[in-house]
Amino acid sequence: MNHIDCDLLIVGGGINGAAIARDAAGRGLRVLLCEKDDLAQHTSSASSKLIHGGLRYLEHYEFGLVRKALAEREVLLRSAPHIMRPLRFVMPHDRDGGQRPAWLIRAGLFLYDRLARREILPGSQAVDLRAHPAGAALQPHYTRGFVYSDGWVDDARLVVLNAVDARERGATILTRTRCLAPQRHAAHWSATLVQGDARLQVRARCLVNAAGPWASRFLDGLPDLPARGALRLIKGSHILVPRLFEHEQAYIFQHPDGRIVFALPYEGAFTLIGTTDVDYTGDLDRVAIGAEEVAYLCQLANRYFVRAVTPGDVVWSYAGVRPLVQDGSGDAAAVTRDFRLETDTDGARLLSVFGGKITTSRKLAEGAVDWIAPALGKRVPAWTAGACLPGGDLHGLGPDKRGVLEFGTWEATQAVKYPWVPPALLRRWVRAYGTRIDVLLARRNAVADLGDEVAPGLYAAEVAYLVENEWACSAADILWRRSKLGLHVAPGCAGELDAWLEARRVGARMELD
């Protein structure tokens, strides 16, 4: 059995675990992260794909959370303009749906614009939907509305890029690896990591529980720990239907039942609608949308849009469980989305992450490592607020607002640099890999150099890049988390891609033999 010593053992490869690994590795800590499945396989790839302050949290008086999230929007947008972008949201005023008076909504948006410094994103405004482009898709009785700014993110790629940056700063990232039998000692933890038939014995000075929905269960398996606050597990589900509008703005609807639901332009041909909030007690490895949730989201969409949708129109759906901090709220939608870091120094150090959201993940990680690093003798200042994620360093501009505003300009230069790449393929690549497209296309000068077209629009060169650089092992990893090609290829392509990957692995083993 192999052995490894590290400063920090992180259990969980969602956004919080990956962000902590990145921050800690950048401060000189020896980091090992293990994830029992793929990176972002669960909650972190099942979000609404938004970088947002959380406008609705103002109604619950969570001003601190909103301020923190609003400040983080622009930090994140600057760090990775290839996988994030500003997005304008249209909120129709629903006079008959019990919505707040227009003057009160305007006051809330005024506060939303000013709770944190804003340089990239434009402010809010009232609009006449009879003249605004977004009004054409709505039922004609919606004549008045408001427009404000937040951001869109490819959530699964955000996790992967945090992990890539962590590895490039010295961290070890192990996917498909379970952490078994952690044992606490006076100055260190010991644990066995299992990956297939291989076993690795780890000795770590600090253990980070970033297991997301499994966080409480993970603690239950640790001996002699005091009772902890409970998590409230809330399932959020989304549906995808053929696009309901032609423009690139999003909608936010405040439904008469109090739910906030978004309708977002998605992958060119679709509209993403969600999310629900349902308490969840089922199998965390088999989370799926229910028929009643599908019906609810379709009915909600039909209240607002001219084009009617039915459950039969749903081309894809997904669901994830949010591990929220139990705060006594009766309504699932009202449970706080803020995070809590619980620390334990009764022996070797332990930090557990409860709650949180994608928008505040960098800040969560910074706070976690602010506690961990000094405790382990590393007094290195926080650094991630001023750093780009892999692929985000456009033109060497660094993480300033030009990186966001000039992404389109940079994208145009890539068409000149790589004229032989089909335009649709190049567009997908620059938005997935940013400046790392140069690594993907190194020493390639024609489509023929990309190798087999394993699936429509997916070439062997990209598959190899994802396997070698981004921990991709299966068709699901590639078609649904590293990309959304699963929406655009025939269902049988997944099986063909898995067979191709297995043949490649067998060939590699034969070469070694």
Q: What is the pLDDT of residues 282-306, one digit of tens each?
A: 999 999 999 999 999 999 999 999 9
Q: Cα–Cα distance between 337 and 49 in angstroms, integer? A: 15
Distances in Å between the Cα of 314 and the Cα atoms of 72, 240, 251, 289, 335 are 33, 6, 18, 12, 28
Beta strands in 267-338 (DSSP E): 270-274, 278-279, 316-325
For residue 285, what are the contacts with CB-CB under 8 A and spacing of at least 6?
none
Domain spans of the chain, in order of start? 2-43+156-230+337-386, 84-154+232-334, 406-512
Q: Cα–Cα distance between 435 and 450 in angstroms, integer? A: 18
Closest CA to 238 of 291, 316, 303: 316
CB-based burial, 176-209: b 16+ in 10 Å, e otherwise = bbebeebebeeebbbbebbeeeeebebbbbbbbb
pLDDT of 402 > 60? The answer is no
Do 348 and 186 contact (CB within 8 A), yes or no?
yes
Q: What are phi and psi of 346, to 5 degrees?
A: -85, 75
Q: Cα–Cα distance between 22 and 389 in angstroms, integer? A: 10
For residue 245, what are the contacts with CB-CB under 8 A and spacing of at least 6?
134, 136, 137, 263, 265, 271, 305
Q: Which two tokens stand for residue 173?
A: 């990232």
Q: Cα–Cα distance between 261 and 274 in angstroms, integer? A: 5
pLDDT of 224 > 80? The answer is no
Q: Where are the alpha helices (DSSP H) in 6-138?
A: 15-26, 63-79, 102-114
State the chain's mean pLDDT as an integer: 92
Q: What is the pLDDT of residues 77-103, one digit of tens each?
A: 999 999 999 999 999 998 776 678 888
Q: What is the pLDDT of residues 435-480, one digit of tens each?
A: 999 999 999 999 999 999 999 999 999 999 999 999 999 999 999 9
How many other CB atoms are found less than 10 A from the CB of residue 415?
Answer: 13
Distances in Å between the Cα of 55 and the Cα atoms of 111, 172, 335 are 10, 37, 14
Do 9 and 372 contact (CB within 8 A), yes or no?
no
Q: What is the pTM of this model?
A: 0.95
Q: Does domain 84-154+232-334 have CATH number 3.30.9.10?
A: yes
pLDDT range class, residue 325, cuts 50, 70, 90: confident
Q: Cα–Cα distance between 244 and 308 in angstroms, integer? A: 9
53 vs 192, which has greater pLDDT? 192
What is the topology classification, in CATH, of domain 2-43+156-230+337-386? FAD/NAD(P)-binding domain (3.50.50)
Q: What are phi and psi of 353, to 5 degrees?
A: -105, 125
How many other CB atoms are found less than 10 A from the CB of residue 140?
Answer: 10
Q: Is 423 helix (H, G, I), strand (E, B) or coil?
A: helix
Lowest mean pLDDT among 139-153, 178-192, 254-268, 320-334: 320-334
Question: What's the alpha-carbon Rg for the chain, to the nearest Å?
Answer: 23
How many other CB atoms are found less than 10 A from the CB of residue 283?
Answer: 8
Q: Cα–Cα distance between 105 and 98 in angstroms, integer? A: 12
Write out the CATH class of domain 406-512.
mainly alpha
pLDDT range class, residue 329, cuts 50, 70, 90: low
Q: What is the pLDDT of residues 352-400, one digit of tens each?
A: 999 989 999 999 999 999 999 999 999 999 999 999 999 999 865 545 5
Residue with tokens 């335009």: 423
Q: Which two tokens stand for residue 156?
A: 């699964």
Q: Cα–Cα distance between 457 and 73 in angstroms, integer? A: 32
